[in-house]
Amino acid sequence: MSTKKISRRDFLRLAGLTGGAAALAACAPKMMETAVPATEAATEAAVATEAPALPKKAADLLKAAGVPLPGSPEAFKGWETPLPDVPAGYPLAEPITITTARPTDSEVVFLPKGDDLDNNVWTRSMAALFGVNFVNKLTWVESDEQAQKYNLAMAANDLPDILQDVPDDIFVQMVEADMLLELGPIWDQYASPKWKAAVEAAGAEAWRYTTVNGKRYGLPHVHDAGHDDAVLWVRKDWLDKLGLKAPETWQDVHDVALAFAEAKLGGPDTYGMLACNEFRKTWFGTLDPLWCSYGISVGWGSFGWSKAADGSLEYDGIKPAVKDVLAILQQWYADGVFRKDFYAIGPDQLTPDLSSGRVGLQFNPVWGANRASVSNTGADWLFLDIPIGGPAGRRKQTQSPWNNGRFCCPKTFEHAKEWIELTNWRIELEETVGTRMHGWEGINYNLKDGVYESTDADWAFWTVGPLGTRTGGNHNPTILGEMINHNITEWEKIPADQRDAFQAAQFADPVSVLRAKATAYIISMSQKEGLVDEFTGQPTPTMQEIWSDLVDQETEVCLSIIIGQKPLEAFDEYVANWKAAGGEQVVAEVNEWWKSIQ
Amino acid sequence: MIREKDWRNVVFDVFNYGFIALLSFLAAAPMLNLLAISLSDNAAVMGGYVTFLPVNLTWENYAVIFQSPAIYKAFTVSIQRTVLGIVISQFLTIITAYPLSKAARQFKGRNFFMWILVFTMLFDGGLIPFFMVIRNLGLLNTIWALIVPGVSAWSVILLMNFFKEVPQELEEAALLDGANHWQILWKIYVPLSVPALATLTLFAAVWHWNAWFDGMIFMTDPNNYPLQTYLRTVVVDLNSSNLHMDVTKIDMLSQRALRGAMIFVTTIPIMILYPFLQRYFVTGIKLGAVKG
Amino acid sequence: MNLPTLFSPQFKAYLQRNWMLYLMLLPTLVLFAIFAYYPMYGVVMAFQKFNPGLGFDGSPWVGMANFTRLLNSPTFPRVVSNTLIIAVSKLVTGQVAAIILALLFNEIRVVWFKRVAQNFLYMPHFLSWVVLGGILMEILAPMGLVGKAQEALGIEPIIFLGSNTWFRPTVIITSLWKEAGWGMIIYLAALTGIDPELYEAAAIDGANRFQRIRYIAIPGIMPIVILMACLSLGDILQGGFDQIFNLYNPTVYQTGDIIDTYVYRMGLVDAQYGIAAAAGLFKSFIGFILIVVSYRLADKYAGYKIF
């Protein structure tokens, strides 16, 4: 069997059984009810304005255009991918072109060879079904490049139609320059009931990050809840060898880490737990669960802001509890839990430690499992709850899933309606519990004698937002968790020999089963355990003046204390300086913003 | 050159050769390491077991690279821009350096032009206006966007200084013979400045080959990316986007062996250019001219 | 030149002889006018709160606010001083190393050795700091090669990239390692321009090898040395963003933070093009003054006009 790993995306983009509809998640029945009136209304409207246009069968349209159908209904141990009906009015009699701006890199692989972002089976399907051609105008690999290109496009007043992941500061500037389309009302008019229900369930939070002066200028790029949230990963085989039990409190973590370091089970350079100079929240080897268990929320590079008892916002970086955590970290560093030079390296230097088996504990989101599997035969990783032991209990840093970026359109965009209706259709196909969209045979996967094997080409990377894309996107933060849960539980019930090839493959690779379980677990926990940085506005005037200096000082002081260069008391001196240098003014301004959005 | 069998010379030579050999090895070490990585099994690389010799020798990484059509496209673009760029920039550098190498008495306004050049080395208006100029001239997404701005004041000044070294008598003799400036430049100055020109050609070639930023900004179609820009889409620079990692990018981190091979493949062509140019670094050409 | 002289017969004769010189300058001047001088209007960004969507005409003016913000920041003096120290150290050690290497190479007779060694020596120049930084961080770590070597010698491994005492020397030495081999090329070219007869004459007069190097080779390349030194002065406030960015961390801000990395971090909080533009203008201005000063000095004391 091939060693191609099944990406989390594959596993998650699955569908349920064709038969197990009754056992489905709660939203399913509701969807059925509300869907009907919508189609009726659409048909009525169509009747009123023009000749009756009935919804077409997607399969027919695709066949007529010579585009293959997804799924493998005929194959041995194959499955069928039922396609929703194409709404009335599509495909458009006169095809339109929508230009896009999106991230891409070498992981975006196309099959068959010769296809590219503008021309692949997904774009051909969209053209056949809807009469919409997607043409890519702007791409980037990483965020600095994206910012450059967006700036240049703004300066030239030449923006593509769909702008993916417009960063906060550029978004504000675009609004200021009056370049963006107000998407809110258009979405209100054309989004499907299912989509609307999901968004309305989140309340004001859903639109918070795309709203300026009461107007909604973009669609949120929604991540699954708890996407970046950490869990504790531990080397189960080391625990067993040393006869230890899984750590449950912070003291346990410390002891287990030291035991690992002393036993040198991973070679002479073994140490206890991952950490790097991004000692707050980072993407690899984060320490946020420790901070959050003391009530200190952490942002990406500085501390965060939380609600105080009186309803105002306070900056967590100057709270007394910070000292408690610094004391712990200082002790841990002195004892040898972290690597000696952790403060001189960044998160990317930590990945070799994981893959070469030098470390036994790590706080990481789901991808902790992935790294571990690369070169370590025999390594058996287990994920655990965040330990308890701080005054705030079991907490970890989380981020609002609606705050993962935004999709915006320039004012000149004329086809927002078509884009939204196309997305409605896609939600039915890709993000419904029970769907079975796994891609196209011979393109995204191969079926050989009833065995599923994924190719390197991931069809979701070819799609245009707000769903799919190279950096993910859902219409609803919990849909992913729901789909995974449904599949794990439902498919496990089917006897092994009766599963189809895709179902069988999910259980064949222990790493992806592990990741799937971790994902489902994390999503369920993020609501309960997550601590959010409440300040999500633009930098205030004083912040623009002094914030980067204050953050530099904060980082320098904290790291010096942790590595023992400065005593714990240096923190108090730092706080006094912070307040005097303008920190209090910043707090006041942040609270002004806070009041304004209540 | 006269050899002396002095013991001091022997000591010096031993020290010299040994020292240079040591330095050469130190300098070459990262490249050798990369070569070893590129020929190793990825798991071994990730585990940190590879130093200077490949572990579990495999050609797979190179196979993957050479099977991808994108790299050939990128190679072609890079070669195009480098060759065109060298030809055009060298020509312009030569004809610009020559007048400026004349003394101010001889060539009125020379200082003024000189400072115009120097000023541009220090001050610039930033990316946006430059981009707009390229765009308004219709050069976006064409090879000319990468070439046209390529005359460097620094090279002109360097060549100008080499030109200054050419003995005055040669020029005077030629003028007496009725030659004009164009002929003097190409028949006298250029042949005498071959080492300098070789150096500048090398610098220009390396600059063009290594440039990635302009390709990224001015080529709107990724199919037109020159080699180093294309390389960036494969070898992710994680430092600058470290604030918000995406889980799918982390998979790319694990491809160290492939990335090593990529870097090696894109660097080798330019590194072997110098040996070809080395034969131009010879003495005695000037001398012959004066005597003759 | 006053108006009457412009039309005098001598001037006409002058033009007849030398019109070609002006023509030769023309293409480059045109190119520079279009691609260098015209875009310079972008420096106004340093005086604005720039919004690309509003453009240079539409963005609000803030006068000197960007500059005062930069210059009044308590960290700015530290950052400028770091930049100067690091840049000057790199400049001096870089040029000296390149010169010494070129002189040593000049004494090597075995041709194949010379060629192979040269090619090895300039290899690091072709690797970006992203790649080299990663390699260095691994090597210099306590669990890396250098760390293990220190342990073997019985020393407690020094965390070079985490120590304010060692960070700058590390930056300078690794910069040498990367660039010296490349920097020597220009000096090699200069050395080939020295008349071999001078060496022979000196040898006949009894000068040994060291004296020949001292009295012939070094003076022979001195014009280029001065030129390179002066040209590098224009970059005195550069300091090398790529290198520092890929090697530094908050614990070495004190000695390692340079203007460009500082401005970069400011841009992370709030992308203000105005600040970056102001910093750039500041650097350009200082660099320009330094070049003018060094030009005058070289002229007066070395009798050498670099331009």
A391 has a pLDDT exceeding 70: yes
Residues A432 and A550 reside in one and the same domain: no
- The chain-wide mean pLDDT, for chain B, equals 83
Residues A360 and A375 reside in one and the same domain: yes
Residues A59 and A156 reside in one and the same domain: yes
Q: Tell whether C88 is covered by a domain.
A: yes
- Smallest CA–CA distance, residue C45 to chain B, in Å, is 8
**Residues of chain C positioned with their CB less than 8 A from the CB of B199:** 185-186, 189
- Smallest CA–CA distance, residue B232 to chain A, in Å, is 8
Number of alpha carbons in the 13 Å side-chain half-sphere of residue C30: 7
Which of A428, A458, A475 terminates a domain? The answer is A475
Check residues B246 and A143 and name the one with the higher pLDDT. Answer: A143
A421 has a pLDDT exceeding 90: yes
Nearest CB among C157, C254, C271 relative to A169 is that of C271
Residues A121 and A154 reside in one and the same domain: yes
Calculate the CA B215 to chain-centre distance.
16
Residues A355 and A251 reside in one and the same domain: yes
Classify residue A300 by its DSSP letter: S
Torsion (CA) C258, C264, C268, C269 in degrees, nearest 10 = 60
What is the rounded CA–CA span in Å between residue A228 and residue A405?
A: 14
- CA nearest neighbour of C186 among A435, B158, A12, A53: B158
**Residues of chain B positioned with their CB less than 8 A from the CB of C174:** none
Task: Find the residue in C nearest to B22 (Cα).
Answer: C117
A11 has a pLDDT exceeding 70: no
**Residues of chain C positioned with their CB less than 8 A from the CB of A277:** 249-251
pLDDT of residue A174: 95
Check residues C212 and B288 and name the one with the higher pLDDT. Answer: C212
Residues A88 and A210 reside in one and the same domain: yes
What is the rounded CA–CA span in Å between residue B215 and residue B235?
A: 16
CATH of the domain at C98: 1.10.3720.10
What is the rounded CA–CA span in Å between residue A409 and residue A412?
A: 8
Q: Tell whether A89 is covered by a domain.
A: yes
Query: Which residues are A249's β-sheet partners?
Result: A388
Nearest CB among B120, B210, B240 relative to C32 is that of B120
Task: Find the residue in A nearest to B237 (Cα).
Answer: A142
Provide the whole-model pTM. Answer: 0.87
Q: Tell whether A163 is covered by a domain.
A: yes
Q: For testing the chain C interface, which of B16, B95, B262 should be mutated: the one with the most C CBs within 10 Å?
A: B95
Residues A92, A97, A98, CA angle at the centre, nearest 5°? 115
The whole-number average pLDDT for the span A338-367 is 86
Residues belonging to chain A with any Cβ–Cβ distance to chain C shorter than 8 Å: 147, 151-152, 154-155, 157, 167, 169-170, 173-174, 176-179, 269, 277, 301, 339-341, 343-346, 348-349, 352, 358, 538-539, 543-549, 551-552, 555-556, 559-560, 563
List the structure tokens of C30: 């045109």
Residues A215 and A262 reside in one and the same domain: no
The whole-number average pLDDT for the span A549-557 is 93
- Please report, for residues A91, A153, A524, A552, the alpha-carbon distance to residue A161 in angstroms, rounded to integers and kept in the order given: 20, 12, 36, 38
User: What phi and psi values does residue A162 have, to the nearest 5 degrees?
Assistant: -110, 115
The whole-number average pLDDT for the span B46-75 is 84
Q: Is A112 on the interface with B (CB under 8 A)?
A: no
Q: pLDDT tens string for chain C (307 positions)?
A: 566 666 788 888 888 888 889 999 999 999 999 999 999 999 999 999 999 999 899 999 999 999 998 888 888 999 999 999 999 999 999 999 999 999 998 888 888 898 889 889 988 988 888 888 888 988 898 888 888 889 889 888 899 999 999 999 999 999 999 999 888 988 988 888 788 888 888 888 888 888 888 888 888 888 888 888 888 887 778 878 999 999 999 999 999 999 999 998 888 877 778 888 999 999 999 988 988 888 888 888 877 777 7
Task: Find the residue in C nearest to B273 (Cα).
Answer: C119
Q: Is C293 on the interface with B (CB under 8 A)?
A: no
Helix (H, G, I), strand (E, B) or coil at C307: coil
pLDDT of residue A377: 58
Contact A356 B131 (CB under 8 A): no
pLDDT tens digit string along B131-180?
A: 999 999 999 999 999 998 778 898 999 899 889 888 888 888 888 888 88
Residues A344 and A408 reside in one and the same domain: no
- CA nearest neighbour of C195 among B6, B276, B156, B192: B192
pLDDT tens digit string along A74-120?
A: 888 899 999 999 998 899 999 999 999 999 887 788 988 888 899 99
- Please report, for residues A159, A564, B23, B27, C145, the alpha-carbon distance to residue C121 in angstroms, rounded to integers and kept in the order given: 47, 41, 7, 5, 21
pLDDT of residue A376: 52
Amino acid of residue C100: I
Contact in structure between B71 and B230 (CB atoms under 8 Å) = yes
pLDDT band for position A551 (cuts 50, 70, 90): very high
- Smallest CA–CA distance, residue B242 to chain A, in Å, is 8
Contact in structure between A247 and A316 (CB atoms under 8 Å) = no
Contact in structure between A121 and A115 (CB atoms under 8 Å) = yes
Q: Tell whether A510 is covered by a domain.
A: no
Residues A210 and A145 reside in one and the same domain: yes
* Neighbouring subunits of A (3+ Cβ pairs under 8 A): B, C
Check residues A239 and A55 and name the one with the higher pLDDT. Answer: A239
pLDDT of residue A225: 83
Number of Cβ atoms within 10 Å of the Cβ of A18:
12
Cα-Cα-Cα-Cα dihedral sign, residues A89, A92, A96, A98: positive
Contact B252 A107 (CB under 8 A): yes
pLDDT tens digit string along A334-344?
A: 999 999 999 99
Number of alpha carbons in the 13 Å side-chain half-sphere of residue B206: 18
B248 has a pLDDT exceeding 80: no
Which stretches of B68-193 are DSSP H helices?
A: 69-100, 110-122, 127-136, 144-147, 153-164, 168-176, 181-184, 190-192
Q: Tell whether A24 is covered by a domain.
A: no
Nearest CB among C53, C73, C159 relative to A341 is that of C159
Q: For testing the chain B interface, which of C21, C132, C200 should be mutated: the one with the most B CBs within 10 Å?
A: C21
Calculate the CA B3 to chain-centre distance.
36
pLDDT of residue A53: 57
Helix (H, G, I), strand (E, B) or coil at A149: helix
pLDDT tens digit string along A277-332?
A: 999 998 888 999 999 999 999 987 899 999 999 989 999 999 999 999 999 999 99
CATH of the domain at A591: 3.40.190.10
pLDDT of residue A343: 93
Contact in structure between A339 and A347 (CB atoms under 8 Å) = no
Q: Is A190 on the interface with B (CB under 8 A)?
A: no
Contact B245 A357 (CB under 8 A): no
Classify residue A1 by its DSSP letter: -
pLDDT of residue C15: 84
Nearest CB among B135, B244, B253 relative to A351 is that of B253
Q: Which of A268-282, A408-422, B233-247, C175-189 has the lowest mean pLDDT?
A: B233-247
Contact C181 B151 (CB under 8 A): no
Q: How many independent structural domains does chain A possess? A: 2
Q: How many independent structural domains does chain C possess? A: 1
Q: For testing the chain C interface, which of A151, A341, A557, A558 should be mutated: the one with the most C CBs within 10 Å?
A: A341
Task: Give Cβ neighbours of residue A369 (< 8 Å, ≥ 6 apart).
Answer: A233, A381, A383, A511, A514, A515, A518
Residues belonging to chain B with any Cβ–Cβ distance to chain A shorter than 8 Å: 42-44, 46-49, 69, 127-128, 131-132, 135, 216-217, 220, 222-223, 232-234, 236-254
- The chain-wide mean pLDDT, for chain A, equals 85
**Residues of chain C positioned with their CB less than 8 A from the CB of A178:** 53
Count contacts between B and C (CB, < 8 Å). 234
What is the rounded CA–CA span in Å between residue A42 and residue A87?
A: 8
Contact A559 C265 (CB under 8 A): no
pLDDT of residue B234: 75
Nearest CB among B92, B119, B157 relative to C28 is that of B92
Nearest CB among A154, A352, A539 relative to C270 is that of A539
**Residues of chain B positioned with their CB less than 8 A from the CB of C32:** 116-117, 120, 151
Contact C251 A154 (CB under 8 A): no
**Residues of chain A positioned with their CB less than 8 A from the CB of B48:** 352, 356
User: What is the domain range of residue A566?
Assistant: 231-397+531-597
What is the rounded CA–CA span in Å between residue B118 and residue B140?
A: 27
Q: Tell whether C98 is covered by a domain.
A: yes
Q: Tell whether A443 is covered by a domain.
A: yes
- CA nearest neighbour of B233 among B205, B268, B266, B209: B266
The whole-number average pLDDT for the span A470-478 is 89
The number of helix segments (H) and strand segments (E) in chain C equals: 16, 0
Q: Tell whether A162 is covered by a domain.
A: yes
What is the rounded CA–CA span in Å between residue A57 and residue A53?
A: 12
Q: Tell whether C187 is covered by a domain.
A: yes
Residues A85 and A219 reside in one and the same domain: yes
B18 has a pLDDT exceeding 90: yes
Edge to edge, what strands does the sheet with A381-384 contain? A271-273, A359-364, A231-235, A381-384
If residue B213 lies in a helix (H) or strand (E), which one and from where to where? helix B213-218
Amino acid of residue A16: G
Q: Tell whether A518 is covered by a domain.
A: no
Q: Tell whether C203 is covered by a domain.
A: yes
Contact C249 A344 (CB under 8 A): yes
Calculate the CA A68 to chain-centre distance.
30
pLDDT of residue B7: 82
Residues A178 and A285 reside in one and the same domain: no
The whole-number average pLDDT for the span A358-378 is 70
pLDDT of residue B277: 79
User: What is the domain range of residue C256?
Assistant: 62-302
Q: Which of A397-406, A423-432, B132-141, C262-271 has the lowest mean pLDDT?
A: C262-271
- Smallest CA–CA distance, residue A343 to chain C, in Å, is 7
Residues A144 and A119 reside in one and the same domain: yes
pLDDT tens digit string along A161-212?
A: 999 999 888 999 999 999 999 999 999 999 999 999 999 999 988 998 999 8
pLDDT of residue B254: 60
